[in-house]
Homo-oligomer: A and B are copies of this chain.
Amino acid sequence: MLITRRERFNAAHRLFREDWTDEKNEAFFGKCSNPNWHGHNYILFVTIKGDVNPDTGFVINLKDLSKIVREKVIDKIDHKNLNLEVDFMKNQIVSTENVAIAIWNELKADIKNLGAELYCIKLVETENNFVEYFGN
């Protein structure tokens, strides 16, 4: 059984490598490399895998899951600059892929402590693009 909680956050970011010139960054990353930033309404789907507890009918209490996702992820990245202000994105290229992996790493242990297993992080950047990460 998989159970999924959707959360949202609005953030600024820029795709670039510090060791590349602005020109080289723009040639590869396009307008996503704008040095003055741009931003998105990101949509995050956190999917948990587990058995249904016959005493509660729940895989997990979504209140507990939502609390963890808020504390470990949303409060740190909502209305933030993903390149400058988010501890778990430091020294990384802020691609959707890397943000999804970082969110996975932020959540994995806490969800295990709830007695469940993190199964998938789906991160939607625009209505045309999204990634799904299942761990490695």
B residues near A81, Cβ cutoff 8 Å = 34, 36-38
Partner of A95, one of B13, B15, B58, B85: B58
A105 contacts chain B at the CB level, 8 A cutoff: no
- Taken together, the copies of this chain in the complex come to 6
With CB as the reference atom, state the residue of chain B lying closest to A97.
B52
B residues near A59, Cβ cutoff 8 Å = 97, 131
Given contacts A31-B78, A84-B36, contact A98 B129 (CB under 8 A): no
A6 contacts chain B at the CB level, 8 A cutoff: yes
In the complex, which of the residues A2, A31, A61, A78 has the most CB atoms of chain B within 10 Å of its own CB atom?
A2
Let me know if A97 and B38 touch, CB within 8 A.
no
A132 contacts chain B at the CB level, 8 A cutoff: yes
B residues near A98, Cβ cutoff 8 Å = 52, 57
Let me know if A132 and B37 touch, CB within 8 A.
no
Interface bits A26-56 vs B (CB < 8 Å: 1, else 0)? 0010111010111111000000000010011
Let me know if B129 and A40 touch, CB within 8 A.
no
Partner of A92, one of B3, B28, B57, B97: B57
CB of A125 to closest CB in B, whole Å: 8
Given contacts A4-B131, A97-B1, contact A36 B126 (CB under 8 A): no
